[in-house]
Chain A
Amino acid sequence: MPSWRGSLDAPVPEGGLGYVDAPWGRVCLAEVEGEVHAFDDPCPHAACSLYEEGVLSGRTLECTCHGGAYDVVTGEPVADPAEEPLEKHAVQLVDGGVVLTTDRVTGTASGS
């Protein structure tokens, strides 16, 4: 699977959210118990920004736009009106940046 490397646009605090702008759009990053999880930023329900609208409590991310919630570890929706899962990507933190391994990557393998 191809990978893409980029600098963090907003760092990921412990138990919080950060993001990186990837070529296919913003990717939200969530830290849960020492592990970072990456997923496309638009909420699958109504496209609101999960970085801007999301509230992370443990592994549950609530999108305050409509109150839908997701388990960021599995990506599955856990509260209505969310129905579709998060679009997750494998992620590694490296020197102030991230490497995303995902089939969203097309063309060049290295980002900003």
Chain B
Amino acid sequence: MDGAQDLCPAGYVPIDPASVPFVANFAHITRYDECLEVLLADAAFETGTFEDYSEPLCGGALVFANGDFHRPRRKQLNPLFSRAALERYDELLSPAIERSLDELRALADEDGVVHTDLMRFVRLVLVRVGAQIIGLDFMDNAERGNALLDYVDRWNQGVTVKWSTRDPEQVVAEAMEYKTVFDAEFFQPSVARRRELIARFEAGEIEREELPNDFIMLSLMPDSTFEWDEELRIRDTIIILNGGLGTSAAAVAGAIEEYSRWEGRDPSREGDDDYIRSIVNETIRLHAPVPYLPRRATRDVTLKSGREIKAGEMLVVLLQFANQDPEVFGPTAALFDPDRAQSLPRGIAPWGIAFGAGPHQCFGKPLVTTAMSTTTREGATLRAIVRILKALLAAGVERDLEQETKLAASTRPTFTLFPVVLHLDLDRVYA
């Protein structure tokens, strides 16, 4: 699609919400302080799909649930992002990156040059981590990874149907077909295996510590504080898998785009973890991968700014606008500046509120951001996007200018194709 190159002009301009049919008539929340206030007050501003098409695919799933249907469920899933779990995912990442690069090496010319689609590369790396988080077994061959990725891509169109420019019934019908196939091929075998493990645990044959720490297992545990039914279990699976892959790939593409144009670019620092981290953080601030968060007011509310919201009013929290609020990020807020984090007001994250805030803050945020050791302030691990970007830069990644990028058929612009060139040494380890 023409125009994709304009997605990230120097000085990023968010899409005008008035041009997005689904939210054109909603109240537009753009100030950082107002966005934060709305996101934190989940009792006053409820979330939801706010359309009927995607209900059978993802209605009631974690990101669209409120109050008692949301909080106990999310808490039950805290072990998915415990420190130990994050370390396990970290350990999976490097082999997953190398494995995907190996697959590309087979396609490279004699100089090690290979042309590929960055979006698929990143999603393919992460789908293996996603499968681990969900608890999908038998993911040990490339075909399974590719198949799962195809399902996730199709679900993505269904989950985000409110932004689609295609026929919504058709989009969701296609996604539902893939849901049925996924259920039979991937999901039920993994559920059955975990039910067996729970039965063995209850019979005293194995210890609790021997049970896998994954979504399916947590959702099946008899002492769970939230009761999933079969349908909700698979809807949450769809949302969790869908949530991480496309947004992460978009962040890596945005980082490569912004970094390639940044005047402060310093290739000699591309092995420096903090340098790469600052590039990722600043990219995510500017290009919040989920830019619009619709909400419905459950009661009359006057925000601290004095703005009045009426009960029943629909509003949309516009994260990309909030993250360019000059009151918080200064007069150069629209510009890509990885050094910005050093001068941000205290309490403001380098990525702003790109992950949302409050009860519905992005579930997978810990996979992206890095927490320092709380006692030494050191020992930060390299989380997914930073690790992938670092490996790609080491492989000399650059936009393939001979091929055009493509955008999704959506009023929420995201790349579906981002051609890049890599320069791979046969013997080098990149991740």
Contacts and interface: CB of A to CB of B under 8 A. Distances in A.
A46 interface: yes
A40 B359 CA distance: 18
A46 B374 contact: no
Interface residues of B, number: 21
B361 A46 contact: yes
Contacts of A46: 357-359, 361
B75 A67 contact: yes
Interface residues of A, number: 23
A59 interface: no
Contacts of B347: 24-25, 40, 42, 87
Contacts of B346: 24, 87, 104
A42 B361 CA distance: 13
A104 B347 CA distance: 10
B366 A81 contact: yes
A41 to B, nearest CB: 10
B75 A66 contact: yes
Contacts of A24: 346-347
A64 B78 CA distance: 12
B83 interface: yes
Contacts of A35: none
Given A25-B347, A76-B374, A104-B346, A81 B358 contact: no
A32 to B, nearest CB: 19
A47 interface: yes
Contacts of B357: 46-48
By secondary structure, the A interface counts as loop
A84 interface: yes
Given A80-B83, A104-B346, A67 B78 contact: yes
Contacts of A85: 374
Contact of A80 (B40, B79, B358, B375): B79
A80 B71 CA distance: 15
B78 to A, nearest CB: 5
Given A65-B358, A66-B359, A83-B366, A49 B40 contact: yes
Contacts of B83: 80, 83
Contacts of B82: 80-81
By secondary structure, the B interface counts as helix
B3 to A, nearest CB: 35
Interface in B354-403: 357-359, 361, 366, 371-372, 374-375
A47 B82 CA distance: 19
Interface string B29-63: 00000001000100000000000000000000000
A77 B74 CA distance: 19
B151 interface: no
Contact of B375 (A45, A49, A76): A76
Contacts of B359: 46, 48, 65-66
Contacts of A45: 361
Contacts of A40: 347
B78 A83 contact: no
B5 to A, nearest CB: 35
A47 B79 contact: no
B81 interface: yes
B397 to A, nearest CB: 30
A32 B310 CA distance: 41
Nearest to B82: A80
Nearest to B359: A65
Contact of B358 (A25, A48, A76, A84): A48
Interface string A59-102: 00000111110000000110011011101000000000000000
Nearest to A42: B347
Nearest to A65: B359
Interface in A18-45: 24-25, 40, 42, 45
Given A76-B375, A84-B372, 4 more contacts: A46-B358, A66-B361, A80-B78, A104-B346
Which 10 pairs show the lowest CB-CB distances between chains A and B? A83-B371, A46-B361, A67-B75, A47-B357, A80-B82, A85-B374, A80-B78, A65-B359, A67-B78, A81-B78
17 contacts: A25-B347, A42-B347, A46-B358, A47-B36, A47-B361, A48-B357, A65-B71, A66-B78, A66-B361, A67-B75, A80-B82, A81-B81, A83-B366, A83-B371, A84-B372, A84-B374, A85-B374
